[in-house]
Structure 1
Amino acid sequence: MKLALWQGTSPASNLDSACAQAETALAAAAAMGAAALVLPEIWLQGYNQPDIPARAVALDSPPMHRLAAAAKRSGCALVVGYAERDATSVHNSAACFGPDGALLANYRKVQLYGMRERSLYTPGDAYATFRLGDETAAILICYDIEFAPHIKALSDSGVTVILCPTANMQPFTHVIRHTVPAMAANHAVSIAYANYCGQEGDLTYVGGSLIAGPHGEVLAQAGQMPALLVAELPPPDPVHLSTQSADLRVLK
């Protein structure tokens, strides 16, 4: 399976620009044979924009319909981060539309980061797993990926691919350099980690979006400029796959 991700500058709440960039990246990813494309965290509105509650949209809304149609048109699944408005709350969410445009999953971030996120969003309380080709996939968002218990829980449930929109900013370069590859290696999963680049308000993003294989190898990584990454996941080698989860001794 090939996975793709788009690293770009924030659309800054321009929904038409956000959708247009997604459509262009989807067409290119599909032309290169990718099964799925991952966009950054809160891509539709921009992660660090003001008045997020006023800009939040429902899962059943025109921009989300447009992105579902783009996924169907390209034949490539799409994971898009967005500020989701439901009946009572706002969530930091990511939806996955399949290659036929159908909704495969809608995940709400569990590990909200910092005071700003905790003041804006209601945390999620469930994982979202689904079939993607021959793989079992799940979505995590940004800070979620830094918590080994979440990766272990997904791996133990049979997940082999984690699709992760993010908005990783300075000075947290250790996440792209060390944390994501280590999580992939320790739990025998592939991770597609799609970040922003450039500046947005008072944040400077580290870029460095990457696709890590199940042995912890970095299959593709962006620099600090806009980039479309596409990488083919290697067939897992049982000799090299981590057995930590099965081997773990729980001390009482």
Structure 2
Amino acid sequence: MRLALLQTPSPMGDLDAACTQAEAALAAAAAMGAAALVLPEVFLPGYNQPDIAARALALDSAPMQRLAAAARAHGTALVVGYAEREGERVFNSAACFGPDGTLLANYRKIQLYGPRERALYQPGEAYSLFALGDEIAAILICYDIEFAPHVKALADRGVTVILAPTANMLPFTHVVRYTVPAMAANHGATIVYANFCGQEGDLTYVGGSLIAGPHGEILAQAGEGPALLVADLPVRDPARLSTQSADLRPVG
């Protein structure tokens, strides 16, 4: 399987421009044979935009329907981070539309980061697993991926691919350099970690988006600027996969 991610500056609240950019990236990813494309965290309307609650979108809103149609048109699954409104509640969410445009998953971020996110969003309460080709996939969002218990829980359920929209900012460069590859290696799962780059308000994003294979190898990694990354998943070698979950000896 071939997977892709888009690293880009925030669309800064311009939903039409964001959808146009996503459509172009989908077309390029599809032309290269990618089965799925991952966009950054809260790509709609932008992670660090003001008035997030007022700008939050329903899952069936016009911009989301437009992106579902784009996934169908290009025959490529799409994971898009967005601020989701459900009634009076707002979530930091990511939806996955399949290559036929149907909704495969709508995941709500469990580990909200910092006082701003905790003030804006309600936390999610569940994982969301789905089939992506021959792989079992799941979504985690940004800070979620830094918690080994969440990655372990997914791996223990048979997940082999984790799709991770993110908005990782300075000074947390260690996450793209060390944390994500270590999580992939320790739990035998490919992680597609799609970050922003550039500045948005008072945040400077570190870029460094990457696709890390199940043995911890970095299959592709961006620098600090815009990039479209595409990588083939390696064959999982049982002799190299971590056995930590099976070998763990709890003490206490």
TM-score, normalised via structure 1 length: 1.00
Q: Match for residue 197 of structure 1?
A: 197
Any residues of structure 2 matched to 1:1-252 within 5 Å, and which?
A: 1-252=1-252
Task: Report the Cα distance in structure 1 between the residues aligned to 2:60 and 2:251, rounded to whole angstroms.
Answer: 46
Gaps in structure 2 of 5+ consecutive residues: none
- In the alignment of these two chains, the number of paired residues is 252
Task: Report the Cα distance in structure 2 between the residues aligned to 1:97 and 1:207, rounded to whole angstroms.
Answer: 24
CA displacement 1:121-153 (0-9 Å, x = unmatched): 000000011000000000000000000000000
Provide runs of 4+ in structure 1 moved above 4 Å.
none
Task: Report the Cα distance in structure 1 between the residues aligned to 2:222 and 2:89, rounded to whole angstroms.
Answer: 34
What letter matches 2:238 in structure 1? P
Question: Offset of 1:251 from its aligned partner?
Answer: 1.3
SS state at 2:59 partner: coil
Question: Offset of 1:88 from its aligned partner?
Answer: 2.2
CA displacement 1:78-136 (0-9 Å, x = unmatched): 00000000012000000000000000000000000000000000000000110000000
Task: Report the Cα distance in structure 2 between the residues aligned to 1:246 and 1:3, rounded to whole angstroms.
Answer: 28
Task: Report the Cα distance in structure 1 between the residues aligned to 2:26 and 2:247, rounded to whole angstroms.
Answer: 40
SS state at 1:84 partner: strand
Task: Report the Cα distance in structure 1 between the residues aligned to 2:30 and 2:248, rounded to whole angstroms.
Answer: 40
Task: Report the Cα distance in structure 2 between the residues aligned to 1:17 and 1:227, rounded to whole angstroms.
Answer: 17
TM-score, normalised via structure 2 length: 1.00
SS state at 1:241 partner: coil
What letter matches 1:130 in structure 2? F
Percent identity between the aligned chains? 77
Gaps in structure 1 of 5+ consecutive residues: none
Task: Report the Cα distance in structure 2 between the residues aligned to 1:193 and 1:224, rounded to whole angstroms.
Answer: 14
Task: Report the Cα distance in structure 2 between the residues aligned to 1:247 and 1:76, rounded to whole angstroms.
Answer: 38
What letter matches 1:183 in structure 2? M
Task: Report the Cα distance in structure 1 between the residues aligned to 2:237 and 2:149, rounded to whole angstroms.
Answer: 23
SS state at 2:152 partner: helix
What letter matches 1:23 in structure 2? E
Task: Report the Cα distance in structure 1 between the residues aligned to 2:242 and 2:35, rounded to whole angstroms.
Answer: 25
What letter matches 1:142 in structure 2? C
CA displacement 1:34-55 (0-9 Å, x = unmatched): 0100000000110000000000
CA displacement 1:2-59 (0-9 Å, x = unmatched): 1100000000010001101100000000110101000000001100000000000100
SS state at 2:182 partner: helix
What letter matches 2:72 in structure 1? K
Question: Offset of 1:63 from its aligned partner?
Answer: 0.3
SS state at 2:93 partner: strand
SS state at 1:205 partner: strand
